[in-house]
Amino acid sequence: MIFREVQRFRQAWVWVLLLLVLLALTVPVMGGMLGPLVSLVMVIAGAGLIWLFFVMRLVTEVHPDGIYLGFFPFSSQKIMYTTIVDHRVREYRPIREYGGWGIRFNRSGRAYTVSGNLGVQLELSNGKGLLIGTQDPDELLRAISSAVSERAKEMDRNQ
């Protein structure tokens, strides 16, 4: 492995928002405004949402055979170097461009982000883009550049 980064949702504002949602779900329960079954479902849903944000993580790994992206517990994928046409560090606007953080889509492609506004933009051979959010954009770019050039040398030797 050339590079590995694990990012989690640990921003204070995310947790304040989640706690407010949990509070909004439990107030009717505590006030006895709902039946016992509905109350139980609401408390479990609120706790489940908090648990989900606690375990969610974006794992980015650069290996000699490709880039592995995992957004646990939702998805994982491997990007082959042969599909990368271009790559660069860029600043992005998560809300304006993608509607927030997480696994997001827009007209130009996908984004895997957890926090911040820096990432490595990949341009793929299918014409789509893939943005990988990172806390260490220069190191991720260096790892991808190294792996892409190593893969190109290997392909040249095999021809």
- Model confidence pTM above 0.85: no
The backbone torsions φ and ψ at residue 31, rounded to the nearest 5 degrees and listed phi first, read -80, 0
Q: Report pLDDT digits (tens) over 53-99.
A: 889 999 999 999 999 999 999 999 999 999 999 999 999 999 999 99
| pLDDT attached to residue 76 | 94
State how far the Cα of 73 lies from the Cα of 61, in Å rounded to an integer.
16
Q: Which residue in 128, 142, 127, 146 sits closest to 88, CA to CA? A: 142
Backbone CA torsion sign across 40, 42, 47, 49: positive
Q: Report pLDDT digits (tens) over 126-139.
A: 999 999 999 999 99
Backbone CA torsion sign across 23, 24, 30, 36: negative
Band of pLDDT at residue 19, cut at 50, 70 and 90: confident
| pLDDT attached to residue 154 | 78
